[in-house]
Structure 1
Amino acid sequence: MDKLLSILLEERISSKVVINVTSGLYKGSYPSRIEDVKDNLVAVSHPLFKNALVPLYRDTILELVMYEKQPPTMIPMKVLRRGMSGNVSLLWLVPAGDPVKIQRRRYARVQCNVDILFFPLSLEEMFPMVGRWEKASCVDISLGGMRLRTKMKEMGLDVGHRVYLWVNLSSENIFLISNIARIVDEGVFREMGLQFEGYPRFVEKRLIRFIRDKELRNAGDGLHD
């Protein structure tokens, strides 16, 4: 492992991270944490799916994403082995590439004030029949994601969790699946940065139309972001 990369990871021990499994049956994003760094290896808490360990086998390639570092950083990793530390199941990884800084602002982002509903998919998978639709407000939106604000701070949501969104854009309803990229608590409110997983072409057209209309309106009002 590169010395600078080793120092970077050692500084992040106990930090929350996201493990992106990019292919296979268990493709998705899973919350985790850096537990240890030794020699050329990194130990993370083993990702869970429905209260069971995600089946990740030797030589599986995945992404370790650190959002606590600004800008967020992604490191390609390869699974080496499983292990235990006390009662914590570990997944030992070895770097498979160089760190890559994630550019959040790849898309035009506009301010808005749109009421939405969201459903915690990850919590429902872990605790069936517990999830429920909750209200929130969209603060800004782009083709890549949105920032929402809610008063629901005790739901158990975490970085890496998936949520299902119902959004009303100019009287047009769209549904989106998103991953929570960051969470910031401010007083009684919680702000969450979401990254869209992907959507069909007709949803993209509606988003583009909404964003362009907001850009023109904001520019006319002198509020262009």
Structure 2
Amino acid sequence: MLRDLVKIGDKVELKQLDQKGNLIKSANTYVSQVVDFGEEGTICLASPIKNGLLVILNKWVSYRLYFYTEKGLYQCNGHMLNIYREKNMPMVIMKLTSDLEKVQRRKYFRLECVHDILYRRITEEELTLEQKLIYDNSVTPQEQAEIRKKLAEITGKWTNGCITDLSGGGCRFNSKEELKPGDKILLKLSFTVKNQLKKLEITSVIIASEKMYRRTGFYEHRVEFEGISPKDREDLIKYIFEQERKRRSNEKK
């Protein structure tokens, strides 16, 4: 099951357990990466890094391992068996002591990035006009034409924004427009995953919006995706993990 879900290069987080197998809340979280698979339930990881420095783990200490995979976030327990060097880099051999299980510790991994987008507010006027066009049988053809013209005007006004972090469940972005919690927006997002260009329009809701004190005239917004299909979300998550792997690969160079 491990090799079906976890791939070489996947990000791993480690957090120390106490003697009873419970997480030590005050313990550091270490970031690593899957290097290889061993025999008898062992896995090889790159030596963790903390604040830019290599961390040497103690033998036989138990950890909770969180694997960030293309199919979601999984966890299991394990303990450190040994350390060896490959091309002068320390590697860690972990013995896995429990089965992988899918978790919602973070519902979605967040990618810090700079990504231009377009968005527009979904207004009450727009919703009212759409409902009138669809459900009101008394509307004449001339009135329908006028409604469609008005809707075209409303839906044709887009605003520039810039995403600063992105996940499969939402994003954080900056813009010059002030928004309010509860506002609904339609967000246009383009990205390339596995050499294929994806263009999404996602209905989203503003969770929080604040003035940016370091950028005069700009606001920072947090949004949650509402109208996103499972397939589009899956493609977005694949893109996020693809970018994270590229970033980690570049950091090694």
TM-score of the superposition, structure 1-length normalised? 0.47
More helix, by proportion: 2
TM-score of the superposition, structure 2-length normalised? 0.42
Bigger radius of gyration among the two:
2
